[in-house]
Structure 1
Amino acid sequence: MIRLDNISKQNGQQLLFIEASAALQRGEKVGLVGPNGAGKSTLFRMITGSELPDEGQVMVDRGTAIGFFSQDVGEMSGRSAVAEVMEGAGAVSEVAAELRELEAAMADPERMDEMDSIIERFGEVQGRFEEMGGYALDSRAREILAGLSFSQEMMEGDVGQLSGGWKMRVALARILLMRPDVMLLDEPSNHLDLESLIWLENFLQNYDGALLMTSHDREFMNRIINKVVEIDGGSLTSYSGDYEFYEAQRAMNERQQQAQFERQQAMLAKEIKFIERFKARASHAAQVQSRVKKLDKIERVEPPKRRQSVSFDFPPAPRSGDDVVNLRGVAKRYGSRVIYDGLDLLVRRRERCCVLGVNGAGKSTLLKLVTGSTAPDSGTVSMGGSVKMGYFAQHAMDLLDGERTVFQALEDEHPRASQGSLRALAGCFGFSGDEVEKRVRVLSGGEKARLVMARMLFDPPNFLVLDEPTNHLDVATKEMLIAALQDYEGTMLFVSHDRHFLAALSNRVLELTPEGIHQYDGGYTEYVARTGQEAPGLHA
């Protein structure tokens, strides 16, 4: 359906693609992977025709409908969320628009003389609209929005009043309603809660078109795709299978290439040693000449490209008391909406509590109550002895000063730290060399999240409260964070929609329900096994 044939593309000084080729066939579900800045978004833009390759061709079969979801959703306002979604439904929304015009024309007394032809055309268009499932469009749009956690009220309200994250869900719903021949989805799992994520996973598993997508959520990707296309060093390499298979295959290929490289290096060293030893002897001139020619003809094996991986080790945090935070009889409401009424909760030292609950259950509110950024209406929240808290909030990135550099932002937080230790810290979180001089305002969402983490973790707290810490983080940084937190000896209370993160780090589950908190000993994996569901209200 789509072929990339020997494409080359340069972006400023950076060579993104060098004579790269790949294809997307009917029914394939492909994960596009590669380090940040490798050219994934550029590839999407070339397929949609909004950017052209410098060389080579992008060929799309005639009549192929493409739906493209990107993080840049543009302006939306003046319509309800449902109307906005229906507007993007491709050909059927154009037919609906003509139907509305014809209905207006039939009611216009000044067009009585054209009425026969208007009625005839109305019949044709109405038949076509019915064939295309147009009358089911409204209910399908609502079903998709409900799957993405929209309440009835939000569906009817002005889309312009929604936050950026919810507008992204509207933009995604437009593509899903359209059901094009090919879906291009650039990070569709960002900004989704766990329930919406699992709903989207099921939707895409049952979608019969071709799919090309990027995602920093390896579990989500793994359950949907049947092929991986990797961008690395300007080339495109295809792997049949899911994300796990790709990782295993890539590691095996690397090991084989390393072994080949080492064997060839040993052989070359031996040949060069012979040439050096005998080049001055006339009796060996012919042999030396023959070996020089042989070396010239040998195709050199390259060593495997090493992905730069960062790692961070927590300095040991001071020990806290056994009771870390205690909530007693806590009530909290927003207007007429009761979030908590008589909540009791005790978090003990070295517990890693993940908080689950449907949208609006009060997950972020619980974290705000614990951190003191929101006060309870009644009841008490008390910290245990020697507790030193670190809080990663969803809005933390907005609080960074855009005019400061990365290094200055670290220095502001830790004025007594040495330059060397702050540079080492920046390097651990992916800011190496000159990148520490970047101004905060030019950083991507992922870079800002890494900077907030670095500021928080340098002088380690013994109680970490994390609200969606993996939003915007790429797979490599997420893996680094998981590895670091697995060795962390403090206490954690966190909300995340990333199931790999939940399973790797939790040892206690707090499920928020209208009846109160259901508590489960054991981590997220045990919770899934015990309840038969991956998220509250959804069955596995």
Structure 2
Amino acid sequence: MIRLDNVSKQNGQRLIFIEASAALQRGEKIGLVGPNGAGKTTLFRMITGQEAPDEGQVLVDRGVTIGFFSQDVGEMAGRSAVAEVMDGAGDVSTVAAELAALEAALADPARADELDSLIERFGEVQARFEELGGYALEGRAREVLAGLGFGQEMMEGDVGRLSGGWKMRVALARILLMRPDVMLLDEPSNHLDLESLIWLEQFLASHDGALLMTSHDREFMNRVVNRIIEIDGGTLTAYSGDYAFYEQQRALAEKQQQAQFERQQAMLAKEINFIERFKARASHAAQVQSRVKKLEKIDRVEPPKRRQTVAFDFPPAPRSGDDVANLRGVHKRYGSKVIYDGLDLLVRRRERCAVLGVNGAGKSTLLKLVAGATEPDAGTVTLGGSVRMGYFAQHAMDLLDGERTVFGTLEDAFPCANQGSLRALAGCFGFSGDEVEKRCRVLSGGEKARLVMALMLYEPPNFLVLDEPTNHLDMATKEMLIAALSSYEGTMLFVSHDRHFLAALSNRVLELTPEGLHQYGGGYTEYVARTGQEAPGLHG
């Protein structure tokens, strides 16, 4: 359906694609992977015709419809979320508009003389509308929005009043409702909570069209895709299978390439050694010459590209008392909505509590209460002795000084630290070389999140309160963070929609429900085994 033939593309001085080729067939579900800046977004833009390749061709079969979801959501305002989603449904929304115009014309006495032709046209358009599933469209739009976490009130409300994250969901719903032949989804899992993520996973797995998507969520990738295309160093390499299979295959290929490289290096060293020893002897001249020629003809094996993943050994956190946070009889409401009605909770030292709950259950509110970012209406929240807290919330990224550089920000925070250790810290969180000189105002969401995390973990507190710490982080940074936090000796209270992160780090689950707090000993994996669900409110 879509083919890239020997595509080359350059952005300024940077070569993004060098004679790269790939294809997307009917019904295939492909995950697009590669380091940040490898060209994933450029590839999407070339397929949709927003950018042209410098050389080669991007071929899309005739009549193929493409739906493209990107993080860059345009202006939305003045309509309800349902109307906005239905408007993106492709042909059917055009037919619906004509149907409405014909209905108005039929009711207009001034057009009575056209009645016969209007009735005839109305019949044709109505049949087409029915054929396209038009009458079921609103129901389907509501179903998709509900799957993505919208309540009735939000569906009806003006889409302009929604936050950026919710507008993203509306844009995604438009593509899902459109059911194009090919869906191009750039990070669809970014702004979703766990319930919506699992719903989307099931929707995409049962969708019969083709799919090309990027995602930083490995579980999501594993459950949706059946092929991987890797962009790296300007080339496209295809792997059959899910993300886990791709990782195994890539590791295997790298190992083989390394072995080949080492064998060839040993052989070359031997040949060069012979040439050096005998080049001055006339008796060996012919042999020396033939070996020189042989060396010139040899195709050199490159060593495998090393992924830059830096591990950072965080200094141990000072020990806190055994009771880290204690909530007693906490009441909290927003307007008429009761969030907690007498909540009791004790978090003890070295517990890693994952907080789960459906949308609006009060997950972020719990973290804010513990962090002191909001007060309870009644009841008490007390922190134990010697507790030093680090609180990561999405708004922390707005507090960075836009004019300071990455390195300047780290220096301001740790004036006594030496330059080398701050550079090492920046490197772990993905800022290598000149990237430390970037000003904070030009950083992407992911880069800001990484910088805030670096600031928090350099001198680790003994109690980490993390609200969606993995939002915006790429897979490599997530792995680094999981590795660092696995050996962290302190206490954690966190909310995350990343199942890999939840499973790797939690040893206790707190589920907020309308009936109160349910607590589960053991981590997220045990919670799933015991409840038979991956998220509250979802069964099976």
TM-score, normalised by the number of residues in structure 2: 0.99
The alignment partner of 2:350 has SS state of coil
The alpha carbon displacement at 1:429 in A equals 1.2
The alignment partner of 2:404 has SS state of coil
Q: Deviations over 1:134-180 (max 9, x none)?
A: 00000000000000010000000000000000000000000000000
The alpha carbon displacement at 1:482 in A equals 0.3
The alpha carbon displacement at 1:394 in A equals 1.6
For residues 101 and 75 of structure 1, the distance between their equivalents in structure 2, rounded to whole angstroms, comes to 26
Please tell me the residue identity of whatever aligns with 1:318: P
CA contact (8 A) 1:312 1:481 kept: no
Partner residue of 2:146?
Answer: 146
For residues 511 and 48 of structure 1, the distance between their equivalents in structure 2, rounded to whole angstroms, comes to 43
Partner residue of 2:272?
Answer: 272
Partner residue of 1:452?
Answer: 452
Partner residue of 1:295?
Answer: 295
The alpha carbon displacement at 1:37 in A equals 0.4
> Is the aligned partner of 1:471 residue 2:471?
yes
CA contact (8 A) 1:5 1:22 kept: yes
Partner residue of 1:129?
Answer: 129
The alpha carbon displacement at 1:311 in A equals 1.6
Matches within 5 A, 1:330-349: 330-349=330-349
For residues 520 and 300 of structure 1, the distance between their equivalents in structure 2, rounded to whole angstroms, comes to 57
Partner residue of 1:211?
Answer: 211
Partner residue of 2:532?
Answer: 532
CA contact (8 A) 1:351 1:507 kept: yes
**Unaligned ranges ≥5, structure 2:** none
For residues 257 and 306 of structure 2, the distance between their equivalents in structure 1, rounded to whole angstroms, comes to 12
Matches within 5 A, 1:320-469: 320-469=320-469
The alpha carbon displacement at 1:398 in A equals 1.3
Partner residue of 2:170?
Answer: 170
The alignment partner of 2:121 has SS state of helix
Matches within 5 A, 1:52-63: 52-63=52-63
Matches within 5 A, 1:32-47: 32-47=32-47
Please tell me the residue identity of whatever aligns with 2:413: E
The alignment partner of 2:230 has SS state of strand
The alignment partner of 1:319 has SS state of coil
For residues 399 and 248 of structure 1, the distance between their equivalents in structure 2, rounded to whole angstroms, comes to 40
Partner residue of 2:251?
Answer: 251
Partner residue of 1:481?
Answer: 481
Partner residue of 2:19?
Answer: 19
The alignment partner of 1:254 has SS state of helix
Q: Deviations over 1:219-256 (max 9, x none)?
A: 00011100000000000000000000000000000000
CA contact (8 A) 1:324 1:349 kept: yes
CA contact (8 A) 1:310 1:477 kept: no
For residues 411 and 246 of structure 2, the distance between their equivalents in structure 1, rounded to whole angstroms, comes to 40
For residues 343 and 123 of structure 1, the distance between their equivalents in structure 2, rounded to whole angstroms, comes to 60
Partner residue of 2:197?
Answer: 197
Alignment identity in percent?
86
For residues 351 and 42 of structure 1, the distance between their equivalents in structure 2, rounded to whole angstroms, comes to 43
The alpha carbon displacement at 1:488 in A equals 0.2
Partner residue of 2:116?
Answer: 116
The alignment partner of 2:407 has SS state of helix
> Aligned Cα RMSD in Å?
0.7
Number of equivalences: 540
Partner residue of 1:50?
Answer: 50
Please tell me the residue identity of whatever aligns with 2:245: F
Partner residue of 2:182?
Answer: 182
For residues 151 and 404 of structure 2, the distance between their equivalents in structure 1, rounded to whole angstroms, comes to 40
**Stretch moving more, 426-435 or 145-154:** 426-435
The alpha carbon displacement at 1:386 in A equals 0.2
Partner residue of 2:66?
Answer: 66
For residues 118 and 73 of structure 1, the distance between their equivalents in structure 2, rounded to whole angstroms, comes to 39
The alpha carbon displacement at 1:336 in A equals 0.6
The alpha carbon displacement at 1:395 in A equals 1.3
The alignment partner of 1:68 has SS state of strand
Q: Deviations over 1:35-69 (max 9, x none)?
A: 00000000000000111000000000100000000
For residues 346 and 270 of structure 2, the distance between their equivalents in structure 1, rounded to whole angstroms, comes to 68
For residues 504 and 420 of structure 2, the distance between their equivalents in structure 1, rounded to whole angstroms, comes to 32
Please tell me the residue identity of whatever aligns with 1:272: I
For residues 351 and 71 of structure 2, the distance between their equivalents in structure 1, rounded to whole angstroms, comes to 36
> Is the aligned partner of 1:238 residue 2:238?
yes
CA contact (8 A) 1:466 1:493 kept: yes
The alpha carbon displacement at 1:416 in A equals 3.0
The alpha carbon displacement at 1:418 in A equals 2.8
For residues 283 and 420 of structure 1, the distance between their equivalents in structure 2, rounded to whole angstroms, comes to 56
The alignment partner of 1:314 has SS state of coil
Please tell me the residue identity of whatever aligns with 2:137: L
For residues 429 and 42 of structure 1, the distance between their equivalents in structure 2, rounded to whole angstroms, comes to 24
The alignment partner of 2:394 has SS state of coil
For residues 70 and 506 of structure 1, the distance between their equivalents in structure 2, rounded to whole angstroms, comes to 32
Please tell me the residue identity of whatever aligns with 1:465: V
The alpha carbon displacement at 1:312 in A equals 1.8
The alignment partner of 1:373 has SS state of coil
CA contact (8 A) 1:467 1:495 kept: yes
**Unaligned ranges ≥5, structure 1:** none
TM-score, normalised by the number of residues in structure 1: 0.99
For residues 403 and 74 of structure 1, the distance between their equivalents in structure 2, rounded to whole angstroms, comes to 27
The alpha carbon displacement at 1:417 in A equals 2.5
For residues 454 and 292 of structure 2, the distance between their equivalents in structure 1, rounded to whole angstroms, comes to 53
**Stretch moving more, 414-423 or 475-484:** 414-423
For residues 306 and 193 of structure 2, the distance between their equivalents in structure 1, rounded to whole angstroms, comes to 34
For residues 291 and 427 of structure 2, the distance between their equivalents in structure 1, rounded to whole angstroms, comes to 46
The alpha carbon displacement at 1:380 in A equals 0.3
Please tell me the residue identity of whatever aligns with 1:148: L
The alignment partner of 1:395 has SS state of helix
